[in-house]
Structure 1
Amino acid sequence: MKIKLKKSSIGLKPDQKRTLKALGFRKTNQVIDVAENPCVAGMITKVEKFVEVIK
């Protein structure tokens, strides 16, 4: 599963910033490939306003 960071992490709550970092994001518009499992699904749900899922 591929996910893309749509918005900047500036101004986010600290736990949301840590979640984006744990997913592997460093820049806006960056696309990363992650394994599809319940842990990652929960992380995506936590920051769903800022990421886009590309299947």
Structure 2
Amino acid sequence: SQIERRKIMEQSPDMHNAEISKRLGKRWKLLKDSDKIPFIREAERLRLKHMADY
């Protein structure tokens, strides 16, 4: 979502963070479950790394 957030901010620099978050949430809901898998796996990897580090 960080990459998508940057894209939106570049296209609409005056848009508030809350509106950007809403748009990202809508995009996420429209994704098929199979398209979400890489993101879910990366989130889990980062969660485990964080737990190991702290």
Q: What's the TM-score once normalised by structure 2's chain length?
A: 0.29
**Higher radius of gyration, 1 or 2:** 2
Q: What's the TM-score once normalised by structure 1's chain length?
A: 0.29
Normalized per residue, which structure has more strand?
1
